[in-house]
Amino acid sequence: MSISFIQKFTVSASRWVRSKCRNLGKFLRGSPRLKKWFYPPEKIVTPAEKYREVNVNYFSDLHTQERMLADKQRMAFYHEAIERKIKTGDRVIDLGTGTGILAAFASRQGAGQVYAVDHSSIIEHAKMLAAENGIENVDFEDVHSTKLYLEEPVDVILHEQIGDFLFDEAMVPNVCDLRDRLLKPGGLILPSEFEFYCEPMTMHDDRREPYIWELDDVYGFDFSSMERSRPYDAEYNGLVSCDLGVVKHFLGEVEPVIKVDLNTITESSLPLKVSFSRKVVNPGILDGLVIFMKAKVDHDLELSSSPLDPKRAPHWGFRILRLDQVNTELGDDLEVTLRVKDWADPETWRWTCGVWGGGELNE
């Protein structure tokens, strides 16, 4: 048998097989029942589902949990809040119990029943720790909170779902869902009052990290042409830090730009554009905007992640939204706009800050 005969045979055999497969494919797609079986629709993964997976993995890590437990300001705030607000006999949900520490505080405070919910595998440690510490009236529920069903509503929703940028651990949708389904009318959300800050600031001179094209002559080497390659993505322009040596001072009077009351908020009521102004009272180079949060329980019980608050809770980072450097002077006006597509995803945030001095805009 010649080689050319074998080649011809293989080519026409493979053509025949392909055409049969095409016909079979057409037949399967044409029948709704067979189509569903052989060509199942692709699963669409929403950003919320993606984040849920990240959250499960992140919080199953012991180091993540120990950083939170070692944060003395955070622990003192929650211990005091629970001592002040949870009453004997209260039925409590601890949303995102982690190692079970807040559920244990509530139980020791006299709660009648605590439902400690967590979707990450850390809950297995929480069960063991509760048993070893003699905590008895806690039911551990290893589900995502949206899948928690109880026969009777509760008196209190206790939670610590506070992200570095307040909204980035899905606190608002998670708490709203439980509030609307499982909290008694007039029940307590602990904590329920939050403030979101976005303050124009200057960095310490020896800690400033300007954009590469803003660097003054580096030993005779000029980087200014790099501005043509400027990246506009939020990851490059939004830095995350826990380093308290970076921010020197705020330029204006500090004020929250969003106040959140979890008793009344809905996810869709958060504004997607925030505009505000600041008068410069403490001049310096405008390096960026710094994002941080505060949680409040009473006028004298507060948790803060401000980089300039000596009593800040140290494990939270803050975010620096970078800006082109501008020199500001006393009395200048700063006009800030922050636009977001999704508060839970800081990669979708975009911002500007104009500086007006004596009627002129410097940028």
* One of 90, 160, 168, 287 touching ligand SAM (CB under 6 A): 160
Is residue 86 involved in binding ligand SAM (CB under 6 A)? no
Record the tokens describing residue 305, joined without a space: 């992640």
CB atoms within 10 A of CB 286: 23
Residues of span 233-252 touching ligand SAM by CB under 6 A: none
Record the tokens describing residue 233, joined without a space: 């993505």
Is residue 119 involved in binding ligand SAM (CB under 6 A)? yes
Is residue 260 involved in binding ligand SAM (CB under 6 A)? no
Q: Respond yes or no: is residue 267 known to be catalytic.
A: no
Residue 68 vs 336, nearer CB to ligand SAM: 68
Residue 38-77 contact track with ligand SAM, rule CB under 6 A, x = bound: -----------------x---x--------x---------
Instruction: List all residues 6 or more positions away from 330 whose beta carbon is below 8 Å from its beta carbon.
Output: 280, 281, 283
* One of 144, 249, 322, 339 touching ligand SAM (CB under 6 A): 144
Please pick, among 66, 132, 152, 160, the residue that the annotation labels catalytic: 160
Record the tokens describing residue 96, joined without a space: 């995102």
Strands (E), 146-224: 154-159, 183-190, 193-203
Quick one: residue 45, left, alpha or beta (phi over 0 = left, psi -120 to 50 = alpha)?
A: beta
Record the tokens describing residue 215, joined without a space: 């660097």
CB atoms within 10 A of CB 271: 12
Is residue 102 involved in binding ligand SAM (CB under 6 A)? yes
Q: Respond yes or no: is residue 347 known to be catalytic.
A: no
Residue 170 vs 323, nearer CB to ligand SAM: 170
Is residue 117 involved in binding ligand SAM (CB under 6 A)? yes
Record the tokens describing residue 164, joined without a space: 């570095």
Least distance to ligand SAM from the beta carbon of 120, Å? 3
User: Helix 122-132 crosses helix 62-69 at what angle (to 10 degrees)?
Assistant: 50
Residue 194 vs 351, nearer CB to ligand SAM: 194
Give me the amino acid identity at 263: N
Least distance to ligand SAM from the beta carbon of 178, Å? 9
Distances (CA, A) of 312 to 62, 74, 302, 303, 306: 23, 9, 10, 7, 6
Residue 205-224 contact track with ligand SAM, rule CB under 6 A, x = bound: --------------------
| Active site positions, annotated | 160, 169
Write out the residues near ligand SAM by the rule CB under 6 A.
55, 59, 68, 96-99, 101-102, 117-120, 122, 144-145, 160-161, 174
